[in-house]
Amino acid sequence: MSRFDPILTSKALWQIRVQKRPFVLSHAVNTRCNMKCSFCDYWKKSGEEPAKEEIFKLLDDAREFGIGVYNAWIVEPLLRKDLPQIMAHAKKLGMITSMVTNGKLLYERAEELEDVDYLSVSVDGVKSYKEIRKMDFETLMKGLKKAIEVRKLQNKKNPILMNCVLTGKNLDDIETLILLAKKLEVKISFEPVHRFPGISEEVWNDIGIHDMEKFRCTVDRIIELKEEGYPIINSKTYLRMVREGEMNYICRASGIIMNVTHDGTLETCRVQNEPLGNVMWDGFESVWENSEDRRKEIVKDCKGCLFFGYTENSLMQSLNPEVIMHYEWM
């Protein structure tokens, strides 16, 4: 929810603070990916993709429950041919729409994304990109530049977001990426690589952040460039937490964002995967109300995470003034 849109902000506050329900539905719109990144767990899971009609029904129910933002997320939304119809349905219901893509199909499908308000593209490096993503950086740029052009022609007011996961492999590329974001007139976000349980020791040795001094210097530079006005969406509070690996915030993520898998299962977040009920079978209201105690326990026992969407939104809901001033995405 953009803090610059008073109507949307008041709807979100009503839903989250008064109704005590989440405002964002983050949905696993499909079950496949066209990349196999070593640090990612999602493409390893299998399952049957929901039919378009099932998603329409899910969106109708979500709207009734008070959801105002639909985020088509894992695994790779652009692999769904009918994605434009799904986004159009969410827009027809009055929702804000967003999606996250690895960008591999962006060149082919940029024109079809007219109903996507917030488009986020994973850009995890420049020189290191190919090693991390197994695709040429030039291929990604071709798609990204086309999407930028198309969105200008479509009069989209929100610039594209390049989201970058900081790993042990891309720290030398970060400043170049920030300069590139400015040149392309897009925004950029950072978050540290998360060690999911499925990541092997070997992969973690390869991709994890081990040189902490270099990592801290890189995050300091991100903060400096943010202060100089570069288009970095993260708050300084969050970036300082990333620098220190501090996760000492009160997690409010599950009260803001509903994570729903491809088969309708509600999970607390993308880390805590315990099933809390099925919103496609039992409805949003019943699953939400019946899972209240368990959700609280899961969050209480959680050791924390530093995914920017969860952390920044939690800090915002805790009324952290610097985050309210400087965090610039939804």
Which position among 78, 87, 287, 305 is part of the footprint of ligand SF4 (CB under 6 A)?
305
Sheet holding 266-267, edge to edge: 187-192, 161-166, 118-122, 96-101, 69-72, 24-27, 257-260, 266-267
Which position among 16, 271, 276, 330 is part of the footprint of ligand SF4 (CB under 6 A)?
271
Residue 25 or 79 having the CB closest to ligand SF4: 25
Residue 272 or 320 having the CB closest to ligand SF4: 272
Q: Under the criterion CB under 6 A, does residue 299 sit at the interface with ligand SF4?
A: yes
Task: Single out the segment in contact with ligand SF4 by CB under 6 A; choices: 92-100, 201-209, 229-237, 299-307.
Answer: 299-307
Q: Under the criterion CB under 6 A, does residue 304 sit at the interface with ligand SF4?
A: yes
How near is the Cβ of 276 to ligand SF4 at its closest, in Å?
A: 12
Closest by CA to 163, choosing from 128, 189, 126, is 189
CB 253 within 8 A of CB 298: no
Residue 183 or 303 having the CB closest to ligand SF4: 303
Q: Which helix (H) or strand (E) holds 19?
A: none
Within the chain, strands assigned E span 24-27, 69-72, 96-101, 118-122, 161-166, 187-192, 257-260, 266-267
Strand 118-122, strand 96-101: pairing: parallel
Which position among 120, 268, 291, 320 is part of the footprint of ligand SF4 (CB under 6 A)?
268
In eight-state DSSP terms, residue 39 is T
How near is the Cβ of 163 to ligand SF4 at its closest, in Å?
A: 17
How near is the Cβ of 270 to ligand SF4 at its closest, in Å?
A: 7
Residues that bind ligand SF4 (CB under 6 A): 251, 253, 268-269, 271-272, 299, 302, 304-305, 310
